[in-house]
Structure 1
Amino acid sequence: MRFFNTEGPVRPDRHYTLPPLSRWNLEEILDLIAQEKYFLLHAPRQTGKTSCLLALMEHLNREGRYRAVYVNIEAAQAAREQVALGLGAVVQAIANAAIWSLDDHTVEPLARELFQSGAPLLVLETFLERWCAGSPKPVVLLLDEVDALIGDTLLSLLRQLRSGYPKRPGAFPQTIVLCGVRDLRDYRIHAGSEREVITGGSAFNIKAKSLRLGDFSAEETRTLLLEHTRETGQVFTPEALDRVWELTQGQPWLVNALAYRACFELRAGRDRTQPITLDLINQAKEQMIVERVTHLDQLAHKLQEPRVRRVIEPMLAGTLPGEVAEDDREYLVDLGLLKRDGSGGLVIANPIYREVLPRALAGGPQDSLPRIEPTWLNPDGSLNPEALLDAFLAFWRQHGEPLLKSAPYHEIAPHLVLMAFLHRVINGGGTLEREYAIGMGRMDLCLRYGALTLGMELKVWRDAAPDPLSEGLEQFDGYLSGLGLDSGWLVIFDRRADQPPIAERTGSVLQTSPQGRSIRVIRA
């Protein structure tokens, strides 16, 4: 039985899969190899890079013009900046891979001889020179996880490959493909007594191209899902197929993880006589986010990096970032956290990431919340919005000030505390959806609990800025219109200096929007 794969390279005999080489322009790659070019492949984690490299190796070896070897050199990361130890690990990894993929045992005595020669700093270049000189066919070397290396170890590897470049193809690999998460220009290498930063691009200026492996298209996403139907007969409803694409935007790991959970873990989905429905996909999504599965947890961990925060914090706040280096912006695109929309602007890559980011940031405030009695529930278990408002106002007056200090992003601290409160409210019985974008000056929330849908808009009143009430009422009309609602909450957080304590300035009034909607304006 085959299944959706979420761990490691795909195996067509075990996993539903798209032909890996169909995701590349194979003709372009073969032309680069024929022209003896060195180039890069980069893409976010768990998008299928390794599967594509392994498929390329098999294709080239089957074709018979080259001897192709795939090598994962991540183990060399453990050497940190011990250059000789790190490059020795790279050579050993290449030798092991040549034995495994080509049954080439000439590499063993060669590597052993070099390790004992007393010239460890040139061991990689010398090894490749001698190995390729004795090879009956040109060698194509596919190096994976190159950006796992750091500092002088990475610098030495790149420079030794550059040094051997003129000797190709007779005494050096005809083509070397460097593969990792980031583009080579973003490899940050510290060198010299002042530890100045140089980039990988300057150490490896022989690269011909930098190729990026993209996400699945809408059609590819559908094709992969329907592999399950062909295998088992279990269908996806049209709404479920559309929802997988909407939530993931084709991110390969998310597509597979959502489908695996819906089809193989949820009890209703394991009944092959029943279709995979929209509700099952939504359940799978919510469980993945709540459990912080590994892929999403790794993503959330990136939020702690200063260069990530410089871009993400203003995006969540709806404000414009200050001077953010292009390298920082492209770094987030390379990570797969952001993508460019049709107009060239930056947006969160997909709705699942859009939910994960603020949830991860609200984790600290949520863990810091005191016990809150669910006074917002009616006797039948439904949510009472008026009681919810009273509970929030009381909570904010009592706990808002100290909880703001526990939020990791100061710019959106009140947003995070409110979301932490709302997550306690829904507690698995509802959902909280978010929308935000650079320059819009707001964050929009949609709380769904049973039959109730409550739309909210969050704005911040900052020093030297006018009261955002009028702008907020006008903007909120558009958001509520999209939700099909005629009422909602407009929450204005007053972050101006020298204001009265939160307990004194928190309150709410009813107002009418420009389009006649009843808006509860909360000032906090």
Structure 2
Amino acid sequence: MRFFTTEGPVRPEDHYSLPPLERWDLDEVLRLIEQKKYFLLHAPRQTGKTTCLLALAEYLNRAGRYRAVYVNLEIAQTAREDVARGMRAICGAIGAAARRDLGEERLYAWTEEVWPAHGAEGVLNALLERWCLRSPQPLVLLLDEVDALIGDTLISLLRQVRAGYTQRPEGFPQTVVLCGVRDLRDYRIHASSEREAITGGSAFNIKAKSLRLGDFSADEVRTLLLEHTAETGQVFTPEALDRVWELTQGQPWLVNALAYRACFEFPEGRDRTQPITLALIDRAKEAMILERVTHLDQLAHKLQEPRVRRVIEPMLAGTLPGEASEDDRQYLVDLGLLRRDGAGGLVVANPIYREVLPRALASGPQDSLPRIAPTWLTADGSLDPAALLDAFLAFWRRHGEPLLRSAPYHEIAPHLVLMAFLHRVINGGGTLEREYAIGMGRMDLCLRYGAVTLAMELKVWRDGAPDPLAEGLIQLDGYLAGLGLNSGWLVIFDRRTDQPPIAERTASNTAASPQGRCIQVVRA
């Protein structure tokens, strides 16, 4: 029986899948190969790049006009700046791939023969020249995980590929495809000695085009999920189908991960007589986030990079990432953390990532939280918003100051500590949804616990700025209207210098919004 997969390349005989060659413009790819072009394929991790390259190699070899070989270069990553070791690994990987895919056994011996004369800086060029001169058809070389290489090893690879360009196709591959997460312009190389970025030179002038593998469309998500229905008879409710698209926005790994959990891990999902419901999809989403599955953990780890922080921190704070360069912003798009919406602005790529990012940042403060008695729960286990407010005020007065220092992003430290507190509140019994109001200077939170829905707007009062109360009340009106609520919290974190200690200035009062809603104003 086939299943949804999240590990490695897709195998149609084992996994539900979409035709990989239909995910990019095959006619354009074949045209580039026919024109003897070098080109790039790039996309975020776990979106199907390797599956597409393997399918392309199989297609080309079956057609018989070219000899195509797929090579994964990740094995050379550990060589780092050791060019000799790196090129040994690269030539070995090419030799293994040629033997596996084409039955070509000679590359290992050829590597040893050309190494003494050409050394690490020329061995790849010499090896590929010898191979192509003896090949009955032009060679197409598909190099995956190129941007996993580091420093001088990557520079040497690019320079040798570039050096062979004029010998195509008789003495060098007709086409070389470089595949990785990033586009070539973002291959940031640091020389081992001076540590200065190398961004120019002919080594970086080797591509005719960059192709980007996109996420699934809504129709493709539905088609993939319905393969399970066709094979097992188990249906997805319309709401569940819509929810998978809504949560993932077509990110392939997320689509497969949600569906796998819902259909193969939960007992209710394994009963093929029962439908896959919206509740099962939501449960799968929560489990993935709470477990910090590898894919999500890798994304969360990226938050530590300075160039990621320069973009993400102001986005979470509701301000504009003014200090971030275009390269920084594009880097996050290439990673798949962000996407450009219809108007061209940057947004977090999907609701799951939107939840994972602040959760990951709040994990430090959350781990530092003291034991808190759930005084906000009534005798029947429901949430009492008034008691929750009292508990938060007491918590903030006592623990706010030290916990702010444990937050990784200084600009949004109060937001992260509040979210850490609220995660203790829901503790698996509710949800906390976040909306980023980029450019509006705020973050919106919606806490759902049983029958209670509590909306909050977070604002920061900084030096030189007016009191954000009036603006916050207007903005909160709009947020509450969208949720159909008549009350909410406006939390104003006073981050101005020379203020009294948090314990002295933390207080709350009730105010009316311009639309007459009852607002609990918290000054913290």
TM-score range, shorter chain: over 0.9
- Counterpart of 1:159 in structure 2 is 159
User: CA shift at 1:117, angstroms?
Assistant: 5.0
Q: Which position in structure 2 is the counterpart of 1:314?
A: 314
Aligned partner of residue 208 in structure 2, secondary structure: strand
Q: Is the 8 A contact 2:121 2:160 kept in 1?
A: no
Mapped contact 2:377–2:383 kept (Cα < 8 A): yes
The residue correspondences of 1:233-244 to structure 2 (distance < 5 A) are 233-244=233-244
TM-score (norm 1): 0.99
201-210 or 377-386, which moves further after superposition? 201-210
- 1:347 match: 347
Give, in angstroms, the shift of residue 84 of structure 1.
1.1
Amino acid at match of 1:518: C
C-alpha spacing 1:274/1:287, structure 2 compared with 1 (3 Å): same
Kept in 2: contact 1:6–1:256 (CA 8 A):
yes
1:516 Cα offset (Å): 1.1
1:48 aligns with 2:81: no
Which residue of structure 1 aligns with residue 495 of structure 2? Answer: 495
Q: Is the 8 A contact 1:60 1:66 kept in 2?
A: yes
Q: Please show how residues 377-396 of structure 1 align to structure 2 within 5 Å.
A: 377-396=377-396
Rounded to whole Å, the distance in 2 between the matches of 1:501 and 1:204 is: 54
Query: Is the Cα–Cα contact under 8 Å of residues 188 and 200 in structure 1 kept in the other structure?
Result: no
SS, match of residue 446 in structure 2: strand
Question: 1:356 is matched with which residue?
Answer: 356
Q: Which residue of 1 aligns with 2:245?
A: 245
Query: Separation in 2 of the partners of 1:397 and 1:114?
Result: 72
Q: Which residue of 2 aligns with 1:300?
A: 300
After superposition, what is the alpha-carbon deviation per residue over 1:138-177, rounded to whole angstroms, capped at 9, x for unaligned?
Answer: 0000000000111111001100100010000001000000
What are the within-5 Å matches in structure 2 for residues 27-176 of structure 1?
27-115=27-115, 119-176=119-176
What's the offset of the Cα at 1:326?
A: 1.1
Residue 103 (structure 1) shift: 0.7
Matches within 5 A, 1:391-430: 391-430=391-430
3-state SS of 1:492 partner? strand
Residue 299 of structure 1 aligns to a residue whose secondary structure is helix
Distance 1:74 1:379, change over 3 A: same
CA distance in 2, matches of 1:29, 1:77: 28
In the alignment, residue 39 of structure 1 is paired with which amino acid?
A: F
One-letter amino acid of the counterpart of residue 300, structure 1: A
Using the TM superposition, give the Cα deviation of residue 111 of structure 1 relative to its aligned residue in structure 2, in angstroms.
2.1
Mean alpha-carbon deviation: is it higher for 341-350 or for 112-121? 112-121
Q: 1: CA distance between counterparts of 2:270 and 2:431?
A: 24
**What secondary structure sits across from 2:258 in the alignment?**
helix
Which stretch has the larger CA shift, 421-430 or 105-114? 105-114
**1:270 — aligned with what?**
270
The one-letter code matched in structure 1 to 2:329 is R
Contact persistence 1:186–1:200 (CA under 8 A): no
Partner Cα distance (2:295, 2:350) in 1: 14
What is the match of residue 463 of structure 1? 463
Q: Does the residue aligned with 1:444 lie in a helix, a strand or coil? A: strand
Matched-pair contact (CA < 8 Å) for 1:155–1:200: no
1:362 is paired with a residue of what secondary structure?
helix
Q: Per-residue deviation at 1:238?
A: 0.6
Aligned twin of 2:283? 283
Letter matched to residue 248 of structure 1? T
Q: Distance in 2 between matches of 1:272 and 1:137?
A: 50
SS at match of 1:194: coil
Structure 1 window deviating more from structure 2 (207-216 vs 107-116): it is 107-116
Equivalent-residue separation in structure 1 for 2:361 and 2:423 (angstroms): 13
Q: After superposition, what is the alpha-carbon deviation per residue over 1:34-84, rounded to whole angstroms, capped at 9, x for unaligned?
A: 000000000000000000000000000011100000000110111111101
- 1:216-237 CA-to-partner distances (Å, cap 9, x unmatched) read 0000011001111001111011
1:272-326: CA deviations, max 9, x gaps?
Answer: 1111111110000001001000000000000000000000000000012233211
Compared CA separation, residues 118 and 212, structure 1 to 2 (3 A): closer
- Partners of 1:184 and 1:199 within 8 A in 2: no
- Give the Cα separation in 2 of the matches to 1:225 and 1:348: 24
**Residue by residue, what CA displacement relative to the aligned partner does 1:376-399 show, whole Å, maximum 9, x if unpaired?**
101111111111111000000100
Give the superposition deviation at 1:201: 7.5
Q: Deviations over 1:336-356 (max 9, x none)?
A: 000001111111000000000
Distance in 2 of aligned mates of 1:220 and 1:519: 44
Match of 1:451 in 2: 451
Change (3 A) 1:100 1:192: closer
Give secondary structure in 1 for the equivalent of 2:122: helix
What CA distance in whole angstroms lies between the structure 1 residues aligned with 2:323 and 2:512? Answer: 38
Q: TM-score, normalised by structure 2?
A: 0.99
Residue type of the alignment partner of 2:467: D
What secondary structure is seen at the aligned counterpart in 2 of 1:301?
helix
Q: Please state whether the residue corresponding to 1:499 is helix, strand or coil.
A: coil
One-letter code of the match for 2:511?
Answer: Q
Q: Which residue of 2 aligns with 1:221?
A: 221
Contact 1:114–1:120, Cα closer than 8 Å, also in 2 = no
Instruction: Give secondary structure in 2 for the equivalent of 1:207.
Output: coil
SS of aligned partner of 1:71 = strand
The aligned residue for residue 207 of structure 1 is 207
Q: Aligned partners of 2:407, 2:244: CA distance in 1, in Å?
A: 32
Is there any run of 5+ residues in structure 2 with no aligned partner, and where?
A: none
**Structure 1 range deviating more: 131-140 or 101-110:** 101-110
Instruction: Tell whether the 8 Å contact from 1:147 to 1:182 is kept in structure 2 after alignment.
Output: yes
Alpha-carbon distance in 2 for matches of 1:380, 1:192? 64
Against the structure 1 CA distance between its residues 201 and 380, is the aligned structure 2 distance closer, same or farther, given a 3 Å change threshold?
Answer: farther
Are 1:184 and 1:200, in contact at CA under 8 Å, matched by a contact in 2? Answer: no
Q: Report SS of the residue matched to 2:164.
A: helix
CA drift of 1:434 comes to 0.3
Q: Which runs of 5+ in 1 are unaligned?
A: none
Q: Percent identity between the aligned chains?
A: 79
Pairing 1:180-199 to 2, within 5 Å after superposition = 180-191=180-191, 194-199=194-199
Q: Distance in 2 between matches of 1:99 and 1:213?
A: 28
Q: In structure 2, what is the Cα distance between the partners aligned to 1:101 and 1:80?
A: 27
**Residues 192 and 6 from structure 1, CA distance in 2 versus in 1: closer, same or farther, beyond 3 angstroms?**
closer
Kept in 1, the 8 Å contact 2:509–2:520? The answer is yes
Kindly provide the amino acid, as one letter, of the partner of residue 467 in structure 1. D
Q: CA deviation digits over 1:190-229, x for unaligned, max 9?
A: 2385332122775231210011100000000110011110
Determine the structure 2 residue equivalent to 1:327: 327
**Partner-residue secondary structure (3-state), 1:476:** helix
CA distance in 2, matches of 1:375, 1:119: 71
Q: Secondary structure at the match of 1:65?
A: coil
Partners of 1:118 and 1:473 in 2: how far apart?
71
